[in-house]
Amino acid sequence: MTVITRIPPSPTGLMHIGTARTALYNWLYAKRHNGQMQFRIEDTDRARYAPEYVESIKDGLTWLGLTWDGPILSQFERRDRHAEIALEMLKAGKAYYCYCSPEELEEMREKAKAEGQVTFYDRRWRDADPATAPRDIKPVIRIKAPLSGESVVHDRVQGDVTVNNEQLDDFIILRSDGTPTYMLAVVVDDHDMGVTHVIRGDDHLNNTFRQNIIYEAMGWTIPVYAHLPLILGPDGAKLSKRHGATGVAEYANMGYLPEAMRNYLLRLGWSHGDDEIISTEQAIEWFDLDHVHRSPARFDFAKLENVNAHYIKEADNTRLVDLVVPFIEKKGIAVDTTGRARLLAGMDELKSRAKTLLQIADEGAFYCRSIPYDFDDKAKANLDKAILQTIRERLSGITEFTAANIEAACKDIANQNAEGKLGKVAMPLRAALTGTTVSPSIFHAAEILSRDEALKRLEFAVNLK
């Protein structure tokens, strides 16, 4: 048997973290078993459907490095197939036409509410004579749910979950306008796609009991289920916008690496001993459903930053330059080949200090600036122009413009002009060369900028009005 999983997001909003983790688990399980992960868009809600959301989901999966097999299927485009199955169940006596008016349904609902009933539909058309059907009402098709006994879902994460069949209603599978309901569409699509394992959020667990009624009515093989617990915010409430970013694209824009996000999401509900840093290759080799946690996981932004910092340190410097440049350009700074070369030369130190790509962009942007550039308020306060003029004179005489020689010159200046306090020389130098008070080692940075550029920037700072 070929293992086939699926990721079926709804294009009614941006791809969020819960969907991303579900996709990752489906992808890893398929990869582990040399199977397939298929991609289906559940786009039957046409009022909320938007093509840009489909692109957002595709972009999110691509950014995470999660590939899918075969074409992307549209649930909406398969509505005729869904209706065909509904009519097939109707013909086999597994479903029936229901002619209840909205008023009748509301009356049943109020009665059930008053009596404390779990379901409200009284099944009045289940065994009724079709000859008594009203001609002015277009019927829906309802499935015949079991009337007694129990139903069990054998779940690889939650264990065996049982409900009394009295809690299952004869739910609608085809609306009066001929369109399928979600319950029917999902089952037909999963069956036709050959899905063997349904790995999804546990908010779908109640749906599973109803969907299994369709599987059984059609005589189809029920897939293996694994319902994942929710992701909570740091405060224990359901993860939402008030906790910060929830969309995958937001994390990319905040400077997280996709491999760090994969690692973090993997551990957000699954474990392999005490391992925290797990490569994608290891994840594929180790991932199973037996070690998915039953309890909800809490999203920890500090832990995500630490994981991201690890992967930034491990990343190739040229790749980091390519990833950081767009963040610098968003600051309105044009990055030319010289700027790229300086960034690359300084990347070892930049990445050793950074938790995100944004931090690298913030601290490395000065490499790409050209005169004139702005100084932040703290930098302006550190522009001791007498010290800067002395620094400029001394650096202009250095033949080998190296970090060691620059530092030696600054120490000499400190001894002569600043009571031996190197900070009183280094801080003005940093402010002058970078426009800020936060940067990598300013002596190494000056070497990367080159003597000519450093002298030009010192002159610019000295003459600043």
Quick: pLDDT tens for 406-421.
999 999 999 998 788 9
Confidence band, pLDDT 50/70/90 cuts, at residue 238: confident
Q: Which residues of 283-306 are buried (b: 16+ CB within 10 A; e: fewer)?
A: beebbebeebeeebbbbeeeebbe
User: For 354-384, where are the alpha helices, taking DSSP H only?
Assistant: 357-364, 377-381
User: In order of start, what are the domains of the chain with their CATH numbers?
Assistant: 78-228 (3.40.50.620), 248-368 (1.10.1160.10), 377-462 (1.10.10.350)
Q: Looking at residue 244, what is its pLDDT?
A: 65
Structure-token match 């044009």, residue found: 334
Confidence band, pLDDT 50/70/90 cuts, at residue 436: very high
Q: How many residues in the chain?
A: 465
Grouping H, G, I as helix, E, B as strand and the rest as coil, residue 87 is helix
Mean pLDDT rounded to a whole number for the chain:
94
Q: Looking at residue 420, what is its pLDDT?
A: 85
Q: For residue 188, with 0-12 CB atoms within 10 Å meaning exposed, 13-18 middle and 19 or more buried, which class applies?
A: buried
Catalytic residue, chosen from 111, 138, 241, 378, is 241
Does an H or E element contain 151, and which?
strand 150-155
**pLDDT above 70 for 241:** no
* pLDDT one-digit tens code per residue, 44-74: 888 888 888 899 899 999 999 999 999 999 9
User: Does 241 participate in catalysis according to the annotation?
Assistant: yes
**pLDDT above 80 for 11:** yes
Q: Looking at residue 170, what is its pLDDT?
A: 96
Confidence band, pLDDT 50/70/90 cuts, at residue 391: very high
**pLDDT above 70 for 200:** yes
* pLDDT one-digit tens code per residue, 292-313: 999 999 999 999 999 999 999 9
Report the alpha-carbon distance of residue 68 to residue 23 in Å, rounded.
10
Confidence band, pLDDT 50/70/90 cuts, at residue 245: low
Report the alpha-carbon distance of residue 344 to residue 427 in Å, rounded.
24
- Tokens representing 457 are 């920037």
Report the alpha-carbon distance of residue 77 to residue 43 in Å, rounded.
9
